[in-house]
Structure 1
Amino acid sequence: MHVKRPLPRPTSPREALARLLSEKGISEVCVPRPVNRRRLREQGLQEIAVYMLVEEAGICRAMGGLYCKTLTTDMGVEIGVPSREGRSFSYQVSKRCTTPVLSWQNLYEMLPNPPLPAFVVDLSRRSMHTEEELRSLKVQLALSLSVVRRYLWDPHLILSGADEGVRPWLSDMVGDAKMIISGEKPGKILWNMRADKVIILRPDAEKPLRREEVLEADAFLLGGIVDKIPRPGVSRFLDASVPWGVARRIELRGSLVGVPDRLNRIIEIILRVIFEDAGIEEAVLASMTRRDVRRRLHVEIMRASRGGRVPLDRDHYESLRRWLPIDCREYVEVAEKAGVRLGWDCEGQDNSGG
């Protein structure tokens, strides 16, 4: 194995850009179109940094007549967008900077190289999918890129085992994204990246994933498989592709039920643990869809009611809502659909008839 070199805590493009702007004494930047304003408001410097890296844009002195209004402030930097009602900003983001004060290369040089942590999705089994599954896989990969861009940027997402048709297949959803698309096996890619601690994420792994493992890992390997048609154990081929990796499953309170199974949601869980200081359970709950929540709620209700044979009191609902993001009406609706009797309602009425 490689001699392990100490890895610093992952540096996000947001943090790197903030440092560069501070060194240049820049405290305000105007961002013209086509940057998405909603994402710009929510993600601030991260959105600017990803735009600069992907579009190879720079930050230059604003020409006269560029009036902007403040949209948000992030890490001490005022971020504006063009507006006649605004004021003159000193700096702007542009793809046409002839003499940039700060170039995308300056930003790139500050980021981890190789791009760790890496999220590798293996597409060597792409041909086994039905057309419906392929459509779902395509959407999940595009959403995975969006999730990665919230915290890191494109090269941290790697598609391995990809044939020549993968890039054009994805192009209508990801454009000229700079994620890594390679025909090589994941083991070779991760070996060359010196990713010594690799976690293979699959639901049938023997051991559950621990937070400490996430924080120590260099890379995470996922199978690019969508199971509209159940294929038990199909993701186990990943273990042989990276022999030094360890297989782990993501659990929520000892169960897989309700844990998101879409690629983008799994990646989101890991990124929340790394960058938001979240625990595994906290990250899973934050990444669950309403469908995931209802699936888990149904199982919890059926378990407590012994398959619908025992009525449930309000205490069961109160205990569940302490950790599962549900409200009373949702609980009652799922219970009624499952045929489970309740001796109460959401208005606090006792309907037990006793």
Structure 2
Amino acid sequence: METLADVFRDALRERGVERVGALSKRFRKSRNVLQDMAIEVFYGKGAVVRVPEKTVFAWDLSGRRVEGSHYAYVPSCMVRKFETVVEKEDLVERLPEWPRFIIDLYHWDRHSQNEKGKICLQAVQCYGLLRDYFTGGELAVTWANDEFRRMYHGPLDRITVYDGPTSEFLREEGIGEVVLLDPWADEVLSEKDFDAKAFIIGGIVDTGGTKKKTTPKIGEELERAGIRVRRRKIVLKGDVVGVPDRINRILGIILKMMVEGKGMDEAVYEMQEPLHARWRLRKELPKRAIRYKVNGRTYRVVEKELFDEYSKWLKIRWEDFVKVLRELDLIALERRRIHHLNKISNARIINGKAYRVLLLKKAAMLCYNC
């Protein structure tokens, strides 16, 4: 999907510009200099102009640093001094129809004050994420009230803040179908869903507590209002456990898939935090545990090398691995030591479960977490 940087790049090429600089060090540390420059131009904070002398800093249209350029971004206070090459209007007339990303606050009052603050923070972060790809103005918040406006510490004038129902907002926008990100959905989000004109990405965390399974109700309300709803979930290797539940991180996963073309597992990994990874690790490790009975006492053992295996798709550190071992009362041993234990033990079924039984005077080989 085309980004604002792509629009900016096309506008520059049309005017014969193959490299663009800046008169200050402002963009020197930008990770995506063309996107950052395009945002400034789009919001009327400056323009690209022709300058008489080459700039010190410049980038080609792929974002690589190059020698100076006779074309440079300058702030709006300096634009009149030079010949304007690309300004806000040049971008506005080229903008594609990007989808809307909606935070539905219908269940706002079911949250505590602390939770409300987190939702507002996540909404600000969503705006920042959208600025990394589009303009940020693609974000809409529905059922917004005065309390949300007071608590939202971001540029309210650059997003859509809608007081009424999501269904009314969609009708006003001419949108008859949405994708609802729902962890309880049957179908998984895929490339086929990226043709939707709107995505409802959150508004409530419903994976536990008194708000559990509230997201499907948002879909039911929209369907009653005549809006078609595609319920989709995001999974990590087929399971929702380990997928971030914060609105901004869900949006980040969608954008990485939609714009960068990344697979779902890779996108989830990049947006994951160790907290989310530990959720999944708690579910995965017991599946790999071997039960040993040593002198009548039961030990559950996993291979120490599992850390390397899981860290390829879970964002875990060694300390996270050890923490989960302790929580689950598991022991980690090197694979070679487990092979040795298997050689000197006998397989038994006890109360319907598989065990390896050892009769030893000393069980020191089962060193805890060693």
TM-score normalised by length of structure 1: 0.80
CA distance change for structure 1 residues 343 and 160 in 2, over 3 Å: closer, same or farther? same
> Is the 1:29–1:90 Cα contact (8 Å) retained in structure 2?
yes
> Is the 2:179–2:196 Cα contact (8 Å) retained in structure 1?
yes
Instruction: Select the residue among 70, 92, 95 that pairs with 2:73.
Output: 92
1:247-297 Cα offsets, whole Å, 9 max, x none, are 122111232211000000000111111111112222111211121112211
Query: How far did 1:201 drift?
Result: 0.9
Which amino acid is 2:62 matched to? M
Query: How far did 1:345 drift?
Result: 8.6
Query: How far did 1:145 drift?
Result: 0.9
Answering whether residue 327 of structure 2 is matched by residue 340 of structure 1, we say no
Answering whether residue 365 of structure 2 is matched by residue 353 of structure 1, we say yes
Answering whether residue 197 of structure 2 is matched by residue 225 of structure 1, we say no
1:2-59 Cα offsets, whole Å, 9 max, x none, are xxxxxxxx43111000000011112333335795653x2x112111111222345322
**Secondary structure of 1:92's match?**
strand
Correspondence list, 1:104-183, <5 A: 104-113=88-97, 116-170=98-152, 173-175=153-155, 178-183=158-163
Equivalent-residue separation in structure 2 for 1:183 and 1:210 (angstroms): 29
CA distance change for structure 1 residues 67 and 318 in 2, over 3 Å: closer, same or farther? closer
Per the alignment, residue 68 of structure 1 pairs with 56
CA distance change for structure 1 residues 129 and 186 in 2, over 3 Å: closer, same or farther? same
> Is the 1:67–1:88 Cα contact (8 Å) retained in structure 2?
yes
Per the alignment, residue 331 of structure 1 pairs with 321
> Is the 2:46–2:76 Cα contact (8 Å) retained in structure 1?
yes
Which amino acid is 1:247 matched to? R
Which amino acid is 1:240 matched to? E
Gap runs ≥5 in structure 2: 292-297, 342-363
> Is the 1:343–1:350 Cα contact (8 Å) retained in structure 2?
no
Instruction: Select the residue among 248, 253, 266 that pairs with 1:269.
Output: 253
**Secondary structure of 1:310's match?**
strand
**Secondary structure of 1:135's match?**
helix
Per the alignment, residue 238 of structure 1 pairs with 218
CA distance change for structure 1 residues 136 and 327 in 2, over 3 Å: closer, same or farther? closer
> Is the 2:20–2:60 Cα contact (8 Å) retained in structure 1?
no
Query: How far did 1:309 drift?
Result: 5.3
Count of matched residue pairs: 330
Query: How far did 1:176 drift?
Result: 5.9
CA RMSD, Structure 1 to Structure 2 (Å): 3.4
Instruction: Select the residue among 191, 200, 204 that pairs with 2:171.
Output: 191
Equivalent-residue separation in structure 2 for 1:291 and 1:346 (angstroms): 30
Query: How far did 1:350 drift?
Result: 8.2
Equivalent-residue separation in structure 1 for 2:32 and 2:246 (angstroms): 23
**Secondary structure of 1:277's match?**
coil
Which amino acid is 2:268 matched to? V
1:228-250 Cα offsets, whole Å, 9 max, x none, are 95411222331134320121221
Query: How far did 1:150 drift?
Result: 1.3
Q: Which moved more, 1:252-261 or 1:263-272?
A: 252-261
Query: Which of the pair has more CA radius of gyration?
Result: 2
CA distance change for structure 1 residues 275 and 29 in 2, over 3 Å: closer, same or farther? same
Answering whether residue 1 of structure 2 is matched by residue 13 of structure 1, we say no
> RCO greater where, 1 or 2, for CA within 8 Å and sep 6 or more?
1
Which amino acid is 1:320 matched to? Y
1:71-126 Cα offsets, whole Å, 9 max, x none, are x544267689xxxxxx674332322323632111210111124xx22111112332
Identical residues among aligned pairs (%): 22
TM-score normalised by length of structure 2: 0.77
Gap runs ≥5 in structure 1: 1-9, 81-86
Q: Which moved more, 1:119-128 or 1:161-170?
A: 161-170
